[in-house]
């Protein structure tokens, strides 16, 4: 059986909460017990520096999150569990990728655009307060993923764009220097609910409405007591829809318990009683882990030792791979021979648009046309066989009218006009003829 390599990072910039646990850690740990998978989970502490410039907080959060993973059942024997900043190959690869990434691609990253939009609203200069770190965030994330040739990257929906960018960077690098990188795919958990917080909005450290995963039982009880509810009195039927309390209960209860709670709502359970049931339900699951967590927090050296083992395993892969990549881009001892080029390396190639062919998880074959600066110009729909995709590309490169003829096989790309696509095809045709 071929193994699928899963890789994901979590940014240590705060204290983990019930939403992080139920939405991310618990399913991620369950996934490591599946057959045919390899898992790489890491603490993205270089990423933390982008949004948090409080050294103590980054340090503390790294310990809290690492201890949480271990306490929640992550088995460091089974999972390569490491800290990003222990892998110097990641920043080195970041630079290689930086040099094949169009600036235009990064201009379109959601995180960067959101910062710009905020400035526009406040009437400030568009890059006000934006660091180059925020701008480069997608490249660092691509390096995390590509260094280990991960197939699947479990992330929240807000991160899908970053995985797509990582694919683009991988394809550009492969195109220039040979087939070194696997094109990763996002793995989105559809059936994991987003937990609501104390105020009924999404539970998030940015909203300060969280229940920390490992707070003391008294604190847990107190926070559950402060979850907003409506003013319905005991005996009055209550709505489960939109109830943060019900939704958190559901994330920790069995289906039978959830059904019983649903009936209790209809029968008009008092909010105080429902909160007591929620407390008991969460505490039953968390209490054994809390003991492990408290022990790890009291002995950070145990956490450090686990991370060092992970770093050793990760670097055993990263170090030789980076040597190959260094040689591929031309950084090698002067006495060393030229590496076997796996891809064509024509002078001036970087300045041209390029077709890229790939296979998606649906088993179909796709291609796209990418401008020299990395922007997507044309995107195909799926073909049953790679030959069909290849023939469509060949037609586009040869015939002026192919763009119209093939329109049914092409998906529209927002913000790109037909003139630009024709010009790119013409540029390719011109070089093919010289």
> Of 91-99, 123-131, 194-202, 347-355, which segment contacts ligand ADP by CB under 6 A?
194-202
Q: Which one of ligand ADP, ligand TRP, none is in contact with 204 (Cβ closer than 5 to 8 A by kind)?
A: ligand ADP
Judged by phi (left if over 0) then psi (alpha if -120 to 50, else beta), residue 149 lies in left
Q: Which one of ligand TRP, ligand ADP, none is in contact with 168 (Cβ closer than 5 to 8 A by kind)?
A: none
Residues binding ligand TRP (CB under 6 A): 7-9, 11, 44, 47, 141, 144-145, 153, 155, 159
Read off the tokens for 399.
């015939």
Helix (H, G, I), strand (E, B) or coil at 411: strand
What is the CA angle 255-257-262, rounded to 5?
95
Read off the tokens for 203.
């539970």
In sequence order, which residues have a C-beta less than 8 Å from that of residue 396 and are 6 or more positions away? 355, 369, 378, 402, 403, 406, 425
CA separation (Å) from 7 to 55, 61, 135, 291, 342?
26, 20, 23, 28, 26
Helix (H, G, I), strand (E, B) or coil at 311: helix
Closest contact distance (angstroms) between CB of 314 and ligand ADP is 20
Q: Find the binding residues for ligand ADP in span 143-172 (CB under 6 A).
A: 156
Read off the tokens for 17.
């909460």
Binding of residue 23 to ligand ADP (CB under 6 A) = yes
Binding of residue 209 to ligand ADP (CB under 6 A) = no
Closest contact distance (angstroms) between CB of 73 and ligand ADP is 16
**CA–CA dist 107, 131 (Å, integer):** 13
> Of 204-212, 339-347, 367-375, 405-413, which segment contacts ligand ADP by CB under 6 A?
204-212
**CA–CA dist 15, 204 (Å, integer):** 10
Residues 6/184, Cβ–Cβ less than 8 Å? no
First-residue to last-residue Cα distance in the chain: 47
- Annotated binding-site residue? 202: yes
**CA–CA dist 424, 428 (Å, integer):** 6
Closest contact distance (angstroms) between CB of 360 and ligand ADP is 23
- Annotated binding-site residue? 13: yes
Closest contact distance (angstroms) between CB of 159 and ligand ADP is 8
Please report the beta strands in 278-363, taking only residues with DSSP state E, as ranges in sequence order: 354-359
- Annotated binding-site residue? 51: no
Q: Which one of ligand TRP, ligand ADP, none is in contact with 202 (Cβ closer than 5 to 8 A by kind)?
A: ligand ADP
Q: Which one of ligand TRP, ligand ADP, none is in contact with 68 (Cβ closer than 5 to 8 A by kind)?
A: none
Kindly state the helix (H) or strand (E) to which residue 132 belongs, with its residue range: helix 132-146
**CA–CA dist 395, 386 (Å, integer):** 14
- Annotated binding-site residue? 410: no
Is 96 or 246 the residue whose CB approaches ligand TRP more closely? Answer: 96
- Annotated binding-site residue? 288: no
Closest contact distance (angstroms) between CB of 288 and ligand ADP is 22
Q: Which one of ligand ADP, ligand TRP, none is in contact with 9 (Cβ closer than 5 to 8 A by kind)?
A: ligand TRP
CB-nearest residue to ligand TRP: 9
Binding of residue 194 to ligand ADP (CB under 6 A) = yes
Q: Which one of ligand ADP, ligand TRP, none is in contact with 144 (Cβ closer than 5 to 8 A by kind)?
A: ligand TRP
Among 9, 19, 212, 374, binds ligand ADP (CB under 6 A): 19
Closest contact distance (angstroms) between CB of 291 and ligand TRP is 28
The three-state DSSP-derived secondary structure of 161-187 is HHHHHHHHHHHHHHHHHCCCCCCCEEE
For binding to ligand ADP (CB under 6 A), which residues are involved? Answer: 10-11, 19-20, 22-24, 156, 194-195, 202-206
């Amino acid at each position: 059986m071929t193994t699928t390599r899963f890789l994901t990072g979590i940014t240590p910039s705060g204290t983990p909460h019930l939403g992080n646990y139920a939405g991310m850690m618990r399913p991620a740990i369950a996934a490591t017990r599946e057959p045919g998978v390899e898992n790489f989970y890491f603490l993205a502490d270089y990423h933390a520096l982008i949004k948090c410039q409080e050294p103590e907080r980054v340090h503390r959060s790294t310990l809290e999150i690492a201890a949480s993973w271990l306490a929640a059942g992550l088995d460091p024997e089974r999972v390569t569990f490491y800290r990003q900043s222990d892998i110097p190959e990641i920043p080195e690869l970041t630079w290689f990728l930086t040099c094949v990434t169009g600036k235009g691609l990064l201009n379109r990253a959601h995180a960067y655009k959101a910062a710009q939009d905020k400035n526009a609203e406040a009437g400030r200069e568009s890059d006000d307060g934006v660091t180059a770190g925020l701008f480069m965030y997608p490249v660092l994330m691509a390096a995390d993923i590509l260094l280990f040739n991960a197939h699947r990257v479990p992330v929240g929906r807000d991160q899908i764009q970053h995985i797509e960018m990582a694919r683009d960077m991988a394809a550009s690098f492969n195109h220039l220097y040979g087939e070194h990188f696997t094109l990763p795919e996002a793995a989105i958990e559809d059936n994991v609910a987003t937990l609501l917080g104390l105020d009924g909005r999404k539970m998030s450290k940015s909203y300060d409405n969280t229940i920390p995963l490992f707070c003391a039982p008294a604190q847990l009880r107190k926070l559950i007591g402060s979850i907003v509810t409506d003013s319905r009195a005991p005996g009055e039927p209550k709505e489960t829809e939109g109830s943060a309390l019900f939704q958190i209960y559901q994330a920790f209860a069995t289906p039978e318990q959830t059904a019983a709670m649903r009936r209790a709502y209809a029968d008009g359970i008092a909010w105080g009683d429902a909160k007591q049931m929620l407390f008991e339900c969460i505490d039953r699951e968390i209490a054994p882990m809390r003991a492990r967590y408290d022990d790890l927090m009291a002995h950070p050296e145990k956490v450090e030792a686990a991370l060092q083992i992970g770093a050793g395993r990760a670097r055993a892969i990263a170090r030789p791979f980076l040597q190959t990549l260094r040689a591929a881009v031309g950084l090698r001892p002067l006495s060393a021979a030229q590496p076997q080029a796996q891809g064509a390396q024509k002078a001036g190639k970087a300045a041209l648009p390029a077709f890229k062919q790939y296979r998606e998880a649906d088993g179909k074959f796709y291609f796209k046309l990418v401008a020299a600066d990395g922007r997507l110009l044309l995107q195909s729909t799926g073909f049953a066989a790679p030959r069909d995709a290849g023939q469509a590309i060949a037609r586009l490169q040869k015939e002026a009218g192919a763009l119209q003829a093939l329109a049914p096989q092409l998906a529209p790309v927002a913000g790109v006009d037909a003139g630009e696509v024709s010009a790119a095809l013409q540029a390719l045709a011109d070089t093919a003829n010289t």
